[in-house]
Amino acid sequence: MLRILDSGRDHTCAGSSRREFLRVGALGLGSLGLPNLFTQNAFGSLPAKLTKDKCVVLLFLHGGPPHIEFFDPKMTAPEDIRSINGEIQTTIPGLTFGSTFPKLAARAKKLAIVRSYASQNGGHSYQEVSSGRNPTKAAMSAMYARIAGPNQPGSGMPRNVVILPEAIQPDLKLQSNFETGALPTLTTAGELGPNFEAFNPAGGSTTKQNMSLNLPRERFDDRKLLLSQIDGFKRHFDQSGAMDTLDSFQQQAVDVILRGVADAFDLSKEDLRTIDKYDTSKLFDMKELTKWHDMKRASNLLGKQMLLARRLCEAGAGFVTVSDCGWDYHSNGNSPKNMAGLPMMGGQVDHAVSAFLDDVEARGLSDKILLVITGEMGRTPKINKSGGREHWADLTALALAGGGLKMGQVIGQSTKDAGRPATEKYTPANLFATVMHTVLEVNEVRVQPNLPRNVISAVSDGKPIPELF
């Protein structure tokens, strides 16, 4: 049994006790300890496989990114409709993106753009988008964790993780803005219960501060202290020779915890050249955006958030949600006129996503990681008198990459004013089903006697976007 303890004390009605951060030995599935789990793996006696060897990274652009300025510029439309920033030709003949995305335009063959996707949500209702309105009200990330398990059994890595800018810069003082920054219900578990909520390495609510490395869960609410404790154990094991007294499976269990989970969250372990390729902090000054009310949680840290997402996928986190805030572009005094933040914020998305696509391809992970880029809604076809766009439910930006799906295509078309789908409409229910069919063995899920019927139904009854398969 390996235990990592907080040196501080908690005072309760039962007296004073040291909090236990992490316990290895009870780690695993049910009563199966981590060393025993490796033994089970060695003899091939694990239960039916419900997951595929894939990971999802959901880049969620809070506030409602303008779909016309992103991937459907409509330059033949009247001036008060077409993209305010013009268009740029992609590597696919006849396909253009908004001109803010030159790097993604050069990588269009790695993307699938859905131009007939409508969130059917005209407000900041994240739950409706992230859950696809399934009956459990659970976000797709929580549904994945419910079926796959809250932790990766080989490493203890949380399956469901949300990455805020504060995970990159812990001392960041971004102001809270409910509409575009509070992550309301985007990653929570609905009726599935708190065990399947997203783990937030930047802190957050009590449930997000719990990291389920065993059953029952133990506290994991101070990442810096945990890392320092783990470093101490590393030195102890290396200097004392204690590892020599353990059998091979026990050694593997200790090695996974001490060198696996902690390292995955630590960007200092990454090659400096790779960090530099991702880095978006030099693209613009955060203060230029956060002075606007609707951009209080905007940051220039998206590149490193995407790098951390890749690291967590490699370490076994099956679903990683990356939060990028500040996309509420009314241009009504709460955001700049004429959507003047687009070159900065759109340029950051362009840079960070392009670095991510190149990186996962170089690592042979393109088919293993599905990237989804969307927001909770789109923006009105007509530009308002201040040069902004209002909330819009009938079309929403959606792009996907990787995951073994069919890339290099545009799926569906919009009407001439980019106001509604002109072809078959796809909705969050279709996106939910697409993700579930990508990362889960849906036929195996259907026949699991221990899964609730509403979970099985949510996963197996939906219709994925067929052009992607």
Is 116 within 8 Å of 430 (Cβ atoms)?
Answer: no
Q: Decide: helix, strand or coil at residue 37.
A: helix
Reported as a single tens digit per residue, the pLDDT across 34-78 is 444 444 344 333 456 999 999 999 999 999 999 999 999 999 999
Instruction: Tell me how far apart the alpha carbons of residues 344 and 346 are, in angstroms, rounded to a whole number.
Output: 6
Report the share of the chain in percent with pLDDT over 70.
Answer: 76
Output DSSP code: residue 334.
Answer: S
pLDDT value of residue 238: 58
- With pLDDT > 90 as the criterion, what percentage of the chain qualifies? 67
What pLDDT sits at residue 15? 38
Per the listing, tokens 């990766």 go with 152
Distances (CA, A) of 205 to 182, 189, 199, 309, 399: 11, 14, 10, 21, 30
How confident is the model over 294-314, as pLDDT tens digits?
999 999 999 999 999 999 999
Report the pLDDT averaged over residues 108-116: 98
Residue 53 CB neighbour total at 10 angstroms: 10
Q: 189 or 226: whose pLDDT is higher?
A: 189
Nearest to 68 by CA among 91, 40, 96: 96
Which SS3 state, helix, strand or coil, does residue 77 take? Answer: coil
Which tens digit of pLDDT belongs to each residue from 400-419?
999 999 999 999 999 999 99
pLDDT at 234: 55
Judged by DSSP in three states, 325 sits in coil
Residue 4: the pLDDT is: 44
| Mean pLDDT, residues 361-370 taken together | 98
- pLDDT value of residue 444: 96
Within 299-423, strands assigned E span: 319-324, 369-374, 378-379, 391-392, 398-402, 409-411
Specify whether the CB–CB gap between 351 and 191 falls below 8 A. Answer: no
H/E stretch holding 6 reads: strand 2-12
CA dist 179 and 125 (Å) reads 9
**φ, ψ (nearest 5 deg) of residue 257:** -70, -45
Question: Three-class SS string for 431-468?
Answer: HHHHHHHHHECHHHHHCCCCCCHHHHHHHHCCCCCHHH
Which residue in this structure is represented by tokens 């088919």? 367
Task: Name the strand (E) or helix (H) holding 111.
Answer: strand 111-114
Q: Are 180 and 328 in contact (CB under 8 A)?
A: yes
Q: Can you tell me whether residue 99 is helix, strand or coil?
A: coil
pLDDT in tens, 373-396: 999 999 999 999 999 999 999 999
Cβ burial, residue 172 (10 Å; 0-12/13-18/19+): middle
In angstroms, the CA 449 to CA 431 distance is 26
Q: Find the mean pLDDT for residues 449-456.
A: 95
Q: Tell me how far apart the alpha carbons of residues 315 and 420 are, in angstroms, rounded to a whole number.
A: 40
* Mean pLDDT, rounded, for 276-298: 95
Beta bridge partners of 24: 2
Q: Is 15 left (phi over 0), alpha (psi -120 to 50) or beta?
A: left
Tokens of 405: 């799906």
Give tens-digit pLDDT for 187-218: 889 999 988 999 888 854 333 344 434 333 34
Domains defined for the chain, CATH in brackets: 1-7+18-47+210-264 (no CATH), 49-201+270-468 (3.40.720)
Is the C-alpha dihedral spanning 106, 60, 265, 37 positive or negative? negative
Bridge partners of residue 89, in order along the sequence: 96
Tell me the pLDDT band of 239, cut-offs 50, 70 and 90.
low
Q: Exposure of 245 by Cβ count < 10 A (0-12 exposed, 13-18 middle, 19+ buried)? A: exposed
Distance from C-alpha of 240 to C-alpha of 19, rounded to nearest angstrom? 25
Output the pLDDT for position 19.
Answer: 42
| Residue 416 DSSP label | T
Q: How would you classify the pairing of strands 369-374 and 55-61?
A: parallel
